[in-house]
Structure 1
Amino acid sequence: MLLSFRVANHRSIREETELSLVATELNEGTAHETGVRSEGRPVSVLPAVGIFGANASGKSNVLHALRFMRTAVLDSFADWGRRAGVPREPFALAPEAREETSFFEVDLLLGRQRVRYTYGFELSDERVEAEWLHAYPSGRRQVWFDREADRPQDEGGEFRFPGSGLKGHKDLIVSSTRPDALFLTVGATLNHPALSAVHRWFVDNLWLVTPGADVPARTEWTRKKLTDRKAGAGLRERLGALLAAADLGITGVTLDPESGEVQLLHRTADGTSRPLDFWDQESLGTHAWFAFLGPLLHVLDQGGVLLVDELDSSLHPILAAEVIRLFQAHEANPRTAQLIFTTHDATLLGPSVAERPLDRDQVWIALKEATGESRLHPITAARKARRDDNLERRYLHGHYGGVPRLTSGEIARQIARVEEELRATREQEVTGPPEP
């Protein structure tokens, strides 16, 4: 489970920003218990959080930062050495940001024992400047390793392993770790059991769903899963139920007995069902929902983290709300899979407590400053964010930020002004400048 993610100096995110999935005292029942206690109190996690904000506010960059961290953990050893430098993306609107490190850190609960781990690193253009892994097997912190590129030799050199928390071979991992590779990646490559367990979380998690562009790939992946002999039958049943629940006229999923191709069954006027050609006869909306369900069911099965950019672009608002409720439901999500999504859809905030699928501590707002920097804050940080607030209306009225600063009709007035200026320019080109 993901407890929190922190990032700095990545794309539009300049200053350190945190996205927390730990439930607060304002949660009203959507959180899932972890069985872990912190400072004597039980820790519960949020199965879903939504990031709201205006266009270009930086919502998508939060998800991109999570994906970049995953890519770094998976590829730094094998791929980064093939190019010059580290392929990071620091904040571009301040030249000095290029000289500053980019920072990434996750807080996790892993394994049946729900052990907490904190793993992170800092990158420059040339190398890994810092990296660390802390574990809390008995509730108290153990520093498994601590890496600093500029640490003097008399302080233990670049790598420190204080205590006996990280057992097993370490010298070989240290000697195999290039300045531009992550120690965690190298350790997992060399089959260190403890490091591989943390590395495995990145392998299995942070599937990113984006609007439009990746629909064909997700569709094909889902179709292949449905034809799998072992898991396909159960998956077809579950996916068919979700397709039918979406009121698309679909009654189930089957395989063509001759070709083995996936077919969606549709209701007919006489009460029977018949398949339609998936590519030529199914609607784009059906394709989008079908492509969304494959990753969704996979993440629910694995207890992983699903990232969805622009949830409202992929799904109708009613379907989007039901997806959120699916992750909230304990019986439908027993492994506490998590959903992190971005959206413009204010209806997901709901006009009342009963109608909104999200608790207040599940709502985050992305803001773009005048400097071009993105900032992220929970809606609970707003003053007087009461339980009975109409969050939808207050959000649209700008009480929490994250909405475009526009007055009614401003876009039309701006277009009219430009058109008038262009007309005046054309007239002057025809008549020439006025006489002195």
Structure 2
Amino acid sequence: MLLKFRVANVRSFREERELAFAVPTGKTAHAARQVPVAGGRQLDVYPLIGIFGPNASGKSNLLKGLVEMRTAVLDSYYQWATQRGVPRELFALDPAAERETSLYELDFVNDGIRYTYGFELGPDRVVAEWLHAYPRGRRQVWFDRDASRRQPFEFPGDRLKDRAAMVKMTRPNALFLTVAATNNHPELAPVFYWFERNLWFLTPEDERYQREEFTRQAVLGPQRDRIEALLRAADLGIEGVEPVETRVAGRTVTDVQLIHTGADGTAYPMPWESESFGTRSWFAMLGPMLLALDEGAVLLVDELDSSLHPRFAAEVVRLFQDPEVNTNDAQLLFTAHDVSVLSTPSGKRLLEPGQVWLVEKDKIGCSDIYPLTAAQPGRHEDLPTSYLAGRFGAVPDLGEGQVGRRLRSVKTPKAG
């Protein structure tokens, strides 16, 4: 499970900032899961977090920072070999950012062991890299890399095998973790594979057709009953999914179509192109979401409410919160604008304050992120109402009617 993510000088996050799924020590959280870790300890960890804030505040940038870290871990050995320097997405509004490093660090639990892995990237090389593990409950430094040292690599405790061979294979612009895991290093491969199996990124439009196809293939397999149940539960007028065979370029291709119930109770298959955008978006979500729940993976969803009705978005939240559905400790990190997902129609809280994080930008474009608990909401305070009223910050600095006043102040160009 993902515990913490630190980032600095990445996209709109100029200064170091941290997002935490782990509940702070001494705090009680009813929605948290107790995760056993080596050394006989347990950590309280949220199964999901929602990030809210104005447009262009940096919500998506945080998710993209996680994806960039994952991509670096998976690709630095092969993909970066053909590049000059290191690919980075820097803070763009300060020329000094180019001369500074970009920081990425993750705390996570894999197979009961907690790890802290991070690195700093410069313009042309990996400036620093480290891995700490807690196999007995106490921190062990497995390796520490610092490009400014005469001998960049240190291995306190000599816990890793084949160190010299792996160091020799590591280019200045490649991550040591990637090199070692690509060569099946026994201790480091599990850390690498955690990144491969997690941090899956979904956006409203990007790769939607691929996600639709992924769900289609899931329907044709053992997931059909579950997907049909979720389609029916969404009250879209859909009764089921029907495989359809067509001939394409001389070969038989199996596709699916959704079955709707008419006013007379008759089942009507509908062409896929006739389905609404909302229906197709929900369908495209189901395959990846079920896979994440089954695998116990971390799923990143940008703008959860963009193409889904608020009731649908709330149901996605409930699935990850429900311990009887989310039996493998999967996690969801999503961004949204619609704060109605914070509460149920009856006014009860759907997310605890510790699961709500807010993002806003300062006057020079730097993003800041903080938990709603920092604003100390009242125990029975209505979170959506107080948020929209600006009590917690992270809302647009926009007065009522301001857009119209600005437009009226600009002369309409004359025709001609």
Task: Give the TM-score normalised by structure 1.
Answer: 0.90
Contact 2:33 2:44 in 1 (8 A): yes
Number of residue pairs aligned between Structure 1 and Structure 2:
409
* SS in structure 2 of the partner of residue 387 of structure 1: coil
Match of 2:408 in 1: 416
Instruction: Give the counterpart of 1:142 among 129, 140, 143.
Output: 140
2-side partners of 1:289 and 1:380: how far apart?
Answer: 31
- How large is the Cα RMSD of the aligned pairs? 2.0
Runs of 4 or more, structure 1, over 4 Å off, are: 24-28, 351-354
Which amino acid in 2 is paired with 1:412? G
1-side partners of 2:133 and 2:356: how far apart?
Answer: 29
Match of 1:238 in 2: 226
Q: Displacement, 1:399? A: 1.1
Q: Displacement, 1:41? A: 7.0
Contact 1:70 1:206 in 2 (8 A): yes
* SS in structure 1 of the partner of residue 281 of structure 2: helix
Match of 2:86 in 1: 86
Match of 1:375 in 2: 368
Q: Displacement, 1:313? A: 0.3
Which amino acid in 1 is paired with 2:5? F
* SS in structure 1 of the partner of residue 156 of structure 2: coil
Q: Displacement, 1:122? A: 0.2
Contact 2:23 2:29 in 1 (8 A): no
Tell me which moved more, 342-351 or 207-216: 342-351
Q: Say whether 1:330 aligns with 2:323.
A: yes
Q: Say whether 1:261 aligns with 2:255.
A: yes
Structure 1: stretches of 5+ with no match in the other structure: 431-436
2-side partners of 1:123 and 1:313: how far apart?
Answer: 33
Which amino acid in 2 is paired with 1:215? R
Match of 1:160 in 2: 154
Q: Displacement, 1:165? A: 2.8
2-side partners of 1:175 and 1:130: how far apart?
Answer: 16
Q: Displacement, 1:128? A: 0.1
Match of 1:249 in 2: 237
Q: Say whether 1:313 aligns with 2:306.
A: yes
Q: Deviations over 1:49-78 (max 9, x none)?
A: 011000110000000000000000011010
Structure 2: stretches of 5+ with no match in the other structure: 247-252
Match of 1:433 in 2: none
Q: Deviations over 1:218-259 (max 9, x none)?
A: 1112223333xxxx1x31111111111100011122322665
Contact 1:255 1:263 in 2 (8 A): yes
Contact 2:41 2:137 in 1 (8 A): no
2-side partners of 1:125 and 1:226: how far apart?
Answer: 45
Q: Displacement, 1:379? A: 0.6
Which amino acid in 2 is paired with 1:366? V
Q: Displacement, 1:124? A: 0.4
Contact 1:351 1:393 in 2 (8 A): no
Match of 1:19 in 2: 19
Q: Displacement, 1:272? A: 4.0
2-side partners of 1:352 and 1:262: how far apart?
Answer: 34
Match of 2:198 in 1: 205
Matches within 5 A, 1:33-432: 33-36=34-37, 42-111=42-111, 114-152=112-150, 157-166=151-160, 168-227=161-220, 232=221, 234-256=222-244, 259-278=253-272, 280-350=273-343, 355-382=348-375, 384-419=376-411, 422=412
Which amino acid in 2 is paired with 1:256? V
Match of 2:31 in 1: 30
Higher helix share: 1
Q: Displacement, 1:268? A: 2.7
2-side partners of 1:352 and 1:270: how far apart?
Answer: 32
* SS in structure 2 of the partner of residue 188 of structure 1: helix
1-side partners of 2:62 and 2:410: how far apart?
Answer: 35
1-side partners of 2:266 and 2:186: how far apart?
Answer: 54
Q: Displacement, 1:37? A: 8.3
Contact 1:364 1:379 in 2 (8 A): yes
Contact 2:38 2:135 in 1 (8 A): no
* SS in structure 2 of the partner of residue 117 of structure 1: strand
Matches within 5 A, 1:2-13: 2-13=2-13
Q: Displacement, 1:29? A: 1.9
Q: Deviations over 1:94-125 (max 9, x none)?
A: 111111100000001001xx100000000001
Tell me which moved more, 409-418 or 282-291: 282-291
2-side partners of 1:262 and 1:296: how far apart?
Answer: 19
Q: Percent of pairs identical after alignment?
A: 52
Task: Give the TM-score normalised by structure 2.
Answer: 0.94
